[in-house]
Structure 1
């Protein structure tokens, strides 16, 4: 099939919906926090890509695992400007990576908000999130 299904997750406020709306070519101002679930669809290189955008609040993270089995890959979005959430990002990302139903699936870690002054640089982010050892 030429259809690709992805799951986009990350902590609340990371910018998941904004990124997806931007990829669709939509307006990115006034995007509100996702409380539950959004579905984005776009065409890229002749393929239809469907992305499940699930909220990142602590209460909703428990449902992420319900989507792992049904997707081709996972996009984990990190707010690179939020130094205070690095440890929480590490814990949550580890849960995603180590879950039985996500094993063997490609996982893209996307560092968002790098344009904000004092955002965490790539090297520190890779080290803090232990990306080489996950």
Structure 2
């Protein structure tokens, strides 16, 4: 009986699908974050070459999550994944302070991308985001209201909205 009700429910109310793109510099923890969400645990991973896609399901929501390689030669191809994106997650290694300028440049570029209009932007630690791009820069690069949240550590607790 439960199976019949479940089938009827999903027939009447099909799963909503969302596309999420995860970006960040190499060795920032993008794949680790993805598998923490997917499997609920931290796993040892190899650097992503190209892209990695996983489908996550939560109740009546289905998420197609694209984990994009962060090596310099791969960052130029990130924009090809932006079309149809509902949310973009930028993972920042807060201990890699020498490359914050590079993170800043990548963030400014993606904030101005037309295919990300309307997408929710999630980022690294608040202190990193404030140093990376000022509010006035975000406003000047984007003609839309920004929706963003900042997440911290592998427990994925929201620390600021």
1:24-78 residue CA offsets vs partner (Å, 9 max, x unmatched): 1165332011011100111124311110111011101111111111211211111
Normalising by structure 1, report the TM-score. Answer: 0.83
- Structure of higher RCO (CA pairs closer than 8 Å, 6+ residues apart): 1
TM-score, normalised relative to structure 2:
0.70
Aligned to 2:88: 74
- Counterparts of 1:96 and 1:33 in 2: how far apart (Å)? 22
Q: Which residue number in structure 2 is paired with residue 30 of structure 1? A: 44
Give the total of aligned pairs: 123
Whether the 8 Å CA contact 1:7–1:52 is kept in 2: the answer is: yes
Q: Which moved more, 1:31-40 or 1:20-29?
A: 20-29
Structure 2: give runs of 5+ residues left out of the alignment. Answer: 1-14, 139-161
CA distance in 2, matches of 1:5, 1:131: 27
RMSD: 1.7
Structure number with greater Rg is 2
Which residue number corresponds to residue 99 of structure 2?
Answer: 85
Runs of 4+ in structure 1 deviating by more than 2 angstroms, as ranges, are 26-30
